[in-house]
Amino acid sequence: MNAEPETARLTADVVVLGERDSKPHILLIRRGKEPYAGHWALPGGHVNVGEDTEATAHRELVEETGLAVQDLDLVGVYAAPGRDPRGRYVDFVYAARVAGLPAVTGADDAKEARWVPLEALLHMRFAFDHAQIIRDAVQAAL
């Protein structure tokens, strides 16, 4: 049996946590493109040729939200088959904490960027496996 080798694409996403009035918030974007146009997601995107995944995370965060952070910590690598309808994607997920809730603006392929209280996440529809990634990142942070 001659199976074609599977080619994986690399992405990087960022879980940014902030706080207002002692309530934790997470920074989300609303996707402007398919797949999952209109769904909420983490800021992030494709790794460019020759680019480090952490550099991708910093770049995509600025491009999609206007927010720049100093330090990122690796949350984990998500690579389960079927996590993206476009094919095999391996996602390097990073986390950052910021003071307060800095101003953000949706840009690039993000239709909107918004700080959302953690308690509101239960009622939101997420793209890809981002609900699981958020749970993992928040659990690690608390």
pLDDT category of residue 5 using cuts at 50, 70 and 90: confident
Whole-number pLDDT of residue 2:
63
Longest dimension (CA), the chain: 60
**Which CATH number applies to 13-141: 3.10.20.30, 3.90.79.10, 2.60.40.10, 3.40.30.10?**
3.90.79.10
Q: For residue 76, give the amino acid letter.
A: G
How far apart, in Å, are the Cα atoms of 23 and each of 14, 66, 131?
20, 22, 19
DSSP 8-state class, residue 13: E
φ, ψ for residue 77, nearest 5 deg: -120, 130
pLDDT digits (tens, 9 = 90+) for 109-136: 899 999 999 999 988 999 999 999 999 9
Instruction: Please give the pLDDT value at position 46.
Output: 97
Question: Is 64 considered catalytic here?
Answer: no
Cβ atoms 130, 40 nearer than 8 A: yes
Residue type, 69: V
For tokens 């494709």, the residue is 46
Q: Is 93 exposed, middle or buried (0-12, 13-18, 19+ CB in 10 A)?
A: buried
- Name the 3-class secondary structure at 44: strand
Q: Token digits for 134?
A: 């958020």
- Identified catalytic residue from 6, 64, 112, 119: 112
